[in-house]
Amino acid sequence: MKSVLNNILGAVGETPLVHLKKISEREKINVYAKIEYFNPGLSIKDRVAIKFIEEAEKNGKLRPGATVIERTSGNMGTGLAIVCAVKGYKFIAVMSEGNSVERRRMLSALGAEVVLVPQAPSGKPGFVSGEDLELVETQTKELASKLNAYRPDQFNNPDGAKAHEETTGQEIWSQMDGKIDAFVTYVGSGGTFVGTSRALKNHNKNVKCFVVEPESAPYLAGKKILSTRHRIQGGGYAFKPPFWDNSLVDGYLTVSDEEAMNSARNLAAKEGIFAGYSSGANVAACLKTAEVLEKDSCVVTILPDSGLKYLSTDLFI
């Protein structure tokens, strides 16, 4: 147990890793989940937020009293809002109106200014497409230059992957005691996949790393994009970050909206783990690795955020 913390940032990381015994019960493989909703912002992005702000402080991009601005689907913003609240920076989150309402309320409560960008004409709430994100991008760029604000820019900043290489990957390796055969995770900015896979492969180059994408948008796998309008919030944007590293990829998996939702419901009902859409997608994808891995393989995945972030959607009704 950690002793008294100086502030809430000390509670980021060192999250639990749980063997999903009931879900693995009749499977050929064993699935383990790193539960990132134990972070203060209820998501994996708190790790990245600390890294972005501390690196910017070190290299002089961020001075006391400055403003920080970021384009976010919610979790990156929540992480940055927490770090900025603790360190005394003003924070502006620019997000699509298509993201769930809990996300924006949490951001406001944490002292962030939330700028909502209307969706593209064919947009539907709950489905944030690549087109919607382009609109958010334009607005973020304009505001950042007008306000002379610091923009961490998670989709282009390699420090996101570094945060995972230094923390998430090391934690998984030591929690599994090195007994890990595969790592599986969904891709948004790509930081979790790249950083964690790199750390695990540095420990053992035989760890197989699998990318998870929506069934309708297998972009990184180089297949046809049918639509970027899917339910798995936080990724699947048909985007390849500049810091992407193909040499880390051993395979590509896809998950449909229905599979992701059923899997998130299963996690809650069977394992008592209340997580979001991408967590469901990750666990569903892990089960698909049984086709290519040896019997009794240990497969680790990430549960990026909490089910509490989706109470206004039909994920849990």
Name the residue with tokens 């607005």: 139
By beta-carbon proximity to ligand PLP, the closer residue of 28 and 245 is 245
Closest distance to ligand PLP from the beta carbon of 267 (Å): 14
- Active-site annotation holds for 278: yes
- Active-site annotation holds for 45: yes
Annotated active-site residue in 129, 278, 279, 306: 278
By beta-carbon proximity to ligand PLP, the closer residue of 97 and 297 is 97
For ligand PLP, which residue has the nearest CB?
234
Closest distance to ligand PLP from the beta carbon of 233 (Å): 6
Coil, strand or helix: which one is 304? Answer: coil
By beta-carbon proximity to ligand PLP, the closer residue of 145 and 312 is 312
Closest distance to ligand PLP from the beta carbon of 235 (Å): 4
Q: By CB under 6 A, name the binding residues for ligand PLP.
A: 43, 45, 73, 75-76, 186-193, 233-235, 276, 278, 304-305
Q: Give the closest residue to 32 by CA, choosing from 158, 185, 165, 167.
A: 185
Closest distance to ligand PLP from the beta carbon of 210 (Å): 13
Cα(147)–Cα(27) distance, integer angstroms:
54
CB 17 within 8 A of CB 34: yes
By beta-carbon proximity to ligand PLP, the closer residue of 4 and 199 is 199
Annotated active-site residue in 34, 43, 45, 279: 45
Cα(94)–Cα(115) distance, integer angstroms:
5
Helical spans, DSSP H, in the chain: 21-24, 45-58, 75-87, 101-109, 130-147, 159-166, 168-175, 191-203, 257-271, 277-288
Cα(28)–Cα(288) distance, integer angstroms:
10
Residues tagged active-site: 45, 278
